[in-house]
Homo-oligomer: A and B are copies of this chain.
């Protein structure tokens, strides 16, 4: 529906991604509902009117921000999950351990943008909810591919569905992130590692 966009200057390369990067930070700090379009444009040093040149609404922005958030994380995730120097199950463990180290360094704050928006927006915006759904599934699929490789090599039991396992890792990891945010300790992360690698993937 580009016809609803207000007239504005010609789209400049980089401005759209600047808005998204700034918006991810502002939403990450204060939540989606509390973030206004002017908070995003101010933070990106972009005129508020220009925002509508790139996004027809805050909701459209939110949907694009969800996609961007996971797309930015994806190369890092993929580099660990396809690292042939390690067995697939070890790659999964290394990914989670690196994320735990990250959360420990920042004091268990901020959580995961997909989880945060899932809680805040899922019941209110079908547009954003459907992008969260897609990106959670993309994430799950990367785990599934790694699990399938482990199953082919015999290091992960093939009695379980790799698709369900990949999805379960994402969901239970999100639960662990939540608990560590509440506790401000890494205890729930260690429990996640213990049961994921000691029981579920065994």
Contact = CB atoms under 8 A, between A and B. Distances in A.
Contacts of A176: 171-172, 175
Interface stretch (A4-12, A81-89, A179-187): A179-187
A110 interface: yes
Interface in A109-149: 109-111, 115-116, 118-120, 122-123, 129, 132-133, 136
What is the copy number of this chain in the assembly? 2
Nearest to A202: B199
Contacts of A49: none
Contact of A136 (B119, B179, B184, B194): B179
Contacts of A172: 171-172, 175-176, 192, 195
A47 interface: no
B182 A118 contact: yes
Contacts of A70: none
SS class of chain A's interface: helix, strand, loop or mixed?
helix
A175 B171 contact: yes
A191 B168 contact: yes
A174 B164 contact: no
B200 A171 contact: no
A62 to B, nearest CB: 14
11 contacts: A33-B33, A109-B123, A115-B119, A118-B182, A119-B178, A133-B183, A167-B187, A167-B188, A170-B175, A172-B172, A175-B178
Interface of A: 30-31, 33-34, 109-111, 115-116, 118-120, 122-123, 129, 132-133, 136, 160, 164-165, 167-168, 170-176, 178-179, 181-184, 187-188, 191-192, 194-195, 199-200, 202
